[in-house]
Amino acid sequence: MPTQHTTKRPPLGTPGKRAINLSLSSDVLLAAKQLDINISKVCDQHLRLVVQREQERQWRENHADFIRAYNSTIAAEGLPLDEWKSF
């Protein structure tokens, strides 16, 4: 019976690394290699930052109406329990 070769991929959200194809400018790639820069690590770190910023932007966009309404309420009525604060 022939053996089957399957590539098992971890479910999305599972920590770990996967090999991918990536196209980079050849001059930057050469300079990074000459400087002994870990290209995979740098790409991963930067992509994490880009993803985080985009998630934050989308969260602000998705919750803009609520934030605007909350700020209007605070401006009109003040902070809850504000009359009892002792400082």
- The pLDDT tens digits of the residues spanning 14-47 come to 678 889 999 999 999 999 999 999 999 999 999 9
Q: Is 18 left (phi over 0), alpha (psi -120 to 50) or beta?
A: beta
26, part of any domain: no
CA atoms within 13 A on the CB side of 73: 8
Q: What is the pLDDT of residue 12?
A: 67
4, part of any domain: no
Q: What is the pLDDT of residue 2?
A: 57
- Number of compact structural domains in the chain: 1
Are 9 and 18 a contacting pair, CB within 8 Å?
A: yes
Q: What is the pLDDT of residue 64?
A: 97
C-alpha distance from residue 64 to each of 27, 57, 58 (Å): 42, 10, 10
6, part of any domain: no
**How does pLDDT run across 55-71, given as a tens digit for each residue?**
999 999 999 999 999 99
Q: Where in the sequence is the domain holding 74, given as residue range(s)?
A: 31-78
pTM of the model: 0.66
